Structure 1
Amino acid sequence: MKEGLVSIITPAYKAAGYIHHTIESVLAQTYSNWELLIANDCSPDNTAEVVRSWAVKDDRIKLIDLAVNSGPAGARNASINAAQGQWIAFLDSDDLWLPSKLERCMQFALDKKAALVFTGFRRINADGSQTGEYVSVPKSLSYRQLLGNTAIATSTVLINRQIAGPVEMRKTYYDDFDCWLQILKRGHLAWGLNEDLMRYRVLGQSVSRNKKKSAMHVWRAYRDLEHLGVLASAWHFFWYALRGVLKYRKF
């Protein structure tokens, strides 16, 4: 691992319409020691061509072309496996960072000696013409607190691999949520930086917007992956659902 280098993990599928904005937000970062690893998950559009055009301009941008469609977990793992950095940051292909995102997260993580940090954010609509209300984050989350919480948005996360240990996505519906749980299960805290540093793009076809399906998969994560009993699962699910409703009650 290269000390101080941030490896940015970006899975991409049918992302040609938005990924240029995502790349521009990385190029605008005040912290410049990064590599952007974009795993093209067999996109049927020209996602790969768009990424290649940027990679020619800046060799910190690297395209990973997957031979087989592998889903978000497989695409993220492909980028993680190629990552050279001490730090792992996640940025989905339609989301945006504000310019000071990496710099603020790096300093915050170093101050806290944290394995994982995350930040607040705002939603934007598909074309970016509407910006939602600020979504704040708690000061910190333990493993058990995260079980009942929706606070960690993937595109805000920064992980110090020297502290956190291995970072890997298991092939499950919420591979990101599962990954944070596995890191915190080792005894770490996730520290929340309550600053507005990311824009989460809400797309009509986003699977995470299907609340019934999402709820079912959260329940399965408790029972099948975390091996919680029925009562414990019900308790955490209640709080997860309640916080999710409060989080999404306004745009």
Structure 2
Amino acid sequence: MPEVSIITPCYNSSKFLEETIASVMNQTFTDWEWLITDDQSTDHSVEIIQRINDPRVRLTIAEKNGGAGHARNLALEKAAGRFITFLDADDFWEPNFLNEMIGFMKKENAEIAYSNYARCNEELIPQIEDFKADKEVTFENLLKTCRLSLLSSMYDSQRVGIEYFPEGSKREDHVMWLNLLKKIPVGKPLQKTMAKYRMHSTSVSRKKQNIVKDQYLVYKDFMGFSTLKSLYYTANWAMNGFIKYSKIFN
């Protein structure tokens, strides 16, 4: 059984996929499985993945395009590793990401951990200050801003179980982390920059003004909060999101 399961959704990612593959293959920690789900790509993504000559890499092709959450869930259904971590098909890990994260989690007896990550343009050149893993994460403070980024976080499935993503929401990662944090008191910060995140100008996560309603539904529908309480946390999330990405504050 592998120590780590890496979960990757892929959709039309051929432009950056080879760099992502290299970042996994160059990991100093080698006891992993990589579960990639292609979400009906129309480019050459599948061909690129199929060229990987490594039995630790397992490709699933979704029967229909169902979005990133659905693709991750298909991979999670097959995950056998104790530790679960995520890497989108256009992001990048430093070579010691897995080694550092697993060592940190065992040392700190952590059920969830997250690290710093660099915020880069499409050429992986940093654009603003690194996102800092500078606070312990709880359910309460995660309601106001999602500090847990998929590419720089890890959880122990032996202790907290496998947590699936809610399908049909553009904020599925936030809901997933909130559901995990309901089970444990705290997630631990590793204050080292272990990953690089590509900030695409057209990405859903950057267009905050277009997904305020989706964020509101995180609280109203998935957390079961009242309208007033949902509006309160949505306002906090919007302000923290502005601070997170604005060069004024970095």
- Does residue 86 of structure 1 match 2:107? no
1:52 corresponds in structure 2 to: 50
Runs of 4+ in 1 over 6 A off after TM superposition: none
Q: TM-score, normalised by structure 2?
A: 0.94
1:100 corresponds in structure 2 to: 96
Q: Measure the CA separation in 2 of the matches of 1:174 and 1:194.
A: 25
- Does residue 206 of structure 1 match 2:198? no
Question: 8 Å contact 1:29–1:99 — kept in the other structure?
Answer: yes
What amino acid does structure 2 have at the position aligned with 1:18? F
1:234 corresponds in structure 2 to: 231
Question: 8 Å contact 1:114–1:163 — kept in the other structure?
Answer: no
Q: Measure the CA separation in 2 of the matches of 1:200 and 1:115.
A: 23
Seen in structure 2, the aligned counterparts of structure 1 residues 188 and 166 have a Cα distance that, compared at 3 Å, is: farther
**Greater shift after overlay, 143-152 or 128-137?**
128-137
- Give the superposition deviation at 1:21: 0.5
- Give the superposition deviation at 1:238: 2.8
- Give the superposition deviation at 1:232: 2.2
1:220 corresponds in structure 2 to: 217
3-state SS in 2 of match to 1:8: strand
- Give the superposition deviation at 1:129: 4.2
The unaligned stretches of length 5 or more in structure 1 are none
Q: TM-score, normalised by structure 1?
A: 0.93
Q: Measure the CA separation in 2 of the matches of 1:179 and 1:98.
A: 25
Percent of aligned positions that are identical: 29
Q: Measure the CA separation in 1 of the matches of 2:87 and 2:17.
A: 11
Compute the RMSD of aligned alpha carbons.
1.5
- Does residue 136 of structure 1 match 2:132? yes
Residue pairs, 1:177-196, within 5 angstroms:
177-196=174-193
Question: 8 Å contact 1:150–1:243 — kept in the other structure?
Answer: no
1:76 corresponds in structure 2 to: 72
What amino acid does structure 1 have at the position aligned with 2:101? C
The unaligned stretches of length 5 or more in structure 2 are none
